[in-house]
Amino acid sequence: MIVLGIESSCDETGIALYDSEKGLISHVLHSQIELHAEYGGVVPELASRDHIRYLVPLMEQALQQAGLTRDDIDGVAYTAGPGLIGALMSGACVGRSLAWALDVPATEVHHMEGHLLAPMLEENPPEFPFVALLVSGGHTLLAHVTGVGEYKLLGQSLDDAAGEAFDKTAKMLGLGYPGGPVLAKLAEQGTAGVFKFPRPMTDRPGLDMSFSGLKTFSLNTWQKLKIEHEGQAEKLAQAQADVARAFEEAVVATLSIKCKRAIQQTHCKTLVIAGGVGANQHLRQQLAKMMKKEGGELYYPRIEFCTDNGAMIAYVGCLRLMAGENKELSIDARARWPMDELSSIQI
């Protein structure tokens, strides 16, 4: 079965083709970074319009890359939530209409399920059961995964998601959008240990998290440093990198402590990181070290499948369509969509 996957939940238009026999056969992506950069963050209306502009041309490109035509498509999968409602509607309308026109089944995919199962696209995929750390711009959660659609929530961020905290802290430091990768790059120039930021909610049991206070802590530190180093551009630049480093270290250490607890609590030997913040090198290194000590193993998708992409949607869509799912001829998109509403399927 050849499935066309469509991702349009935020600021990336992703299209991919997944073949149940051969695996991923093509994937293309258009990033809206340049479009939103001058506003310092995603402008939802501009995002929706840009998805509409790119969806069909990207679809043609993906088909061409795979040497296929529209008639080869056996099913369509599109992200139906959670995300920006207008952006989701763009992909959902195109996806559902295409399936109707081709007379093939269509299925809705949960964006976070896409992220969670993205490591399955790699050569050496993890086996169930595992603990998943989902760290994106909109969500930060730990789940015990026992199968496709079987996600038991272990803990989550009670305020900002880790990616959101990266983005907001980057903005406060005067760095560009998207904040995560820019802040991580600057942190490389920072000196470890110059500042020690708190590790929120690690002094009490439990797997919930909070990153909002860390963002405020960074802002206060940065404002003091700006006064202290006024007129000393070089010193201020180094201080900025040191703050970035301390912030990144605090997020990474906090996530690592929570992951270790989740591994010990579930007795799982496999940890999976997924979502945009999963692209962070320090986070990967720290979690790999922690898992080694725990006698287990860490899995993650390649960098381009950590952030939003069509491949993860085509993959999950293929599993769900093969299990017989077929969305009726109506178009629903959900800004919010709890993961526990997903049905489990046998693969």
Residues in contact with ligand KG4 by the rule CB under 6 A: 10, 115, 136-138, 163-164, 166-167, 178-181, 184, 275-277, 279-280, 307-308
Closest of 240, 85, 273 to residue 163, by C-alpha: 273
Q: State which residue, 160 or 308, has the beta carbon closest to Zn ion.
A: 308
By CB under 5 A, name the one of 306, 308, 310, 318 that touches Zn ion. Answer: 308
SS3 17: strand
- Distance CA(53)–CA(59), nearest Å, equals 11
- Nearest distance from C-beta of residue 231 to Zn ion, angstroms: 42
Strand 75-81 to 106-110 pairing: parallel
| Strands of the chain, DSSP E | 2-7, 12-19, 23-31, 75-81, 106-110, 130-135, 140-147, 150-156, 270-274, 297-299
- Among Zn ion, ligand KG4, none, what binds residue 277 when CB lies within 5 to 8 Å by partner kind? ligand KG4
- Distance CA(280)–CA(26), nearest Å, equals 25
The gap between the terminal CA atoms of the chain, to the nearest Å, is 14
- Cβ contact 52:97 at 8 Å: no
- Nearest distance from C-beta of residue 135 to ligand KG4, angstroms: 7
- Distance CA(341)–CA(332), nearest Å, equals 15
Q: State which residue, 75 or 199, has the beta carbon closest to ligand KG4.
A: 199
Site string for Zn ion, 122-151 (x = CB under 5 A): --------------x---------------
- Nearest distance from C-beta of residue 139 to Zn ion, angstroms: 8
- Among ligand KG4, Zn ion, none, what binds residue 270 when CB lies within 5 to 8 Å by partner kind? none
- Cβ contact 339:110 at 8 Å: yes
Q: State which residue, 18 or 217, has the beta carbon closest to Zn ion.
A: 18
- Among Zn ion, ligand KG4, none, what binds residue 179 when CB lies within 5 to 8 Å by partner kind? ligand KG4
- Distance CA(119)–CA(278), nearest Å, equals 11
Site string for Zn ion, 40-79 (x = CB under 5 A): ----------------------------------------
- Distance CA(177)–CA(338), nearest Å, equals 28
Residue 13 binds Zn ion (CB under 5 A): no
- Among Zn ion, ligand KG4, none, what binds residue 178 when CB lies within 5 to 8 Å by partner kind? ligand KG4
- Nearest distance from C-beta of residue 55 to ligand KG4, angstroms: 18
- Distance CA(283)–CA(310), nearest Å, equals 24
Q: State which residue, 308 or 325, has the beta carbon closest to ligand KG4.
A: 308
Q: State which residue, 174 or 231, has the beta carbon closest to ligand KG4.
A: 174
Q: State which residue, 294 or 304, has the beta carbon closest to ligand KG4.
A: 304
- Nearest distance from C-beta of residue 288 to ligand KG4, angstroms: 15
| Count of positions on this chain that bind Zn ion (CB under 5 A) | 2
Q: State which residue, 26 or 136, has the beta carbon closest to Zn ion.
A: 136
Q: Cis omega before residue 338 (within 30°)?
A: no
Question: With 0-12 CB in 10 A as exposed, 13-18 as middle and 19+ as buried, what is 196?
Answer: exposed
Residue ranges binding Zn ion (CB under 5 A): 136, 308
